[in-house]
Amino acid sequence: MRLKSQVVGFTPRYNIAPTQDAPVVVREEEIVLKLMRWGLIPPWAQDESIGNRMINARAETLAQKPSFRQPFERRRCLVLADGFYEWKKTGGAKIPYRFVVKGDEPFAFAGLWERWRKPDDTELHSFVIITTEPNELAREIHDRMPVILAAEHYDRWLDPDFHDTERLQESLRPFPASAMACYPVSPKVNNPRFDEPQCIEPVPPP
């Protein structure tokens, strides 16, 4: 997959939170890497605050939800990452865990993206991450997990001219637990302003 980047001066991130920008791959005239805001803002939204609530989309209902139906057909994207966090409820506390693909390989979440016209008539591009049922590993921590796309599905997922949503649904399955690992990390990741390498370092199990 040949990629043209529109991202200049991007530095590593360790704790990307909703409403912040993240690296996303889309196909327009060519395949492009750009930064988009996490939290989908539909074109009909009165203001951008709706994106604060639209950070995840359930794979099972994409074709039924008005906010996701058209992006699912025409504006799909890859959200690049090398790990993600989930929180396990333990007593009165929530313990953060980091999930990775074994070998620390980078991967891509299945996402949808949209354009929203701002009051100053410029465009704001935003995205949502698709979630599915958890695999055996993720189920120990949370009742959902993001869809990690297999590399062989990238081209079809990015193709805006491919509209067979039933076939696209076949790609939205839990990633194999045997290919993943997880470990507890510092509760400092609960603070979206803390974005340091310490976020991804293992800590002793609770």
Q: Tell me, what's the pLDDT at 2?
A: 58
Report pLDDT digits (tens) over 105-149.
999 999 999 999 998 989 999 999 999 999 999 999 999 999 999
- Ramachandran sector of residue 120 (left: φ over 0; alpha: ψ -120 to 50; beta: rest): alpha
pLDDT in tens, 53-66: 999 999 999 999 99
CA distances from 77 to 22, 92, 112, 133, 171 (A): 12, 37, 5, 20, 13
Any idea where the domains of the chain sit in the sequence? 4-82+104-177
Q: Which of 1-10, 13-22, 73-82, 107-116 has the lowest mean pLDDT?
A: 1-10
Strands 56-58 and 123-132: parallel
- The answer on pLDDT for 197 being more than 90 is yes
Question: Where is pLDDT greater, at 4 or 146?
Answer: 146
Domain 4-82+104-177: what homologous superfamily? SOS response associated peptidase-like (3.90.1680.10)
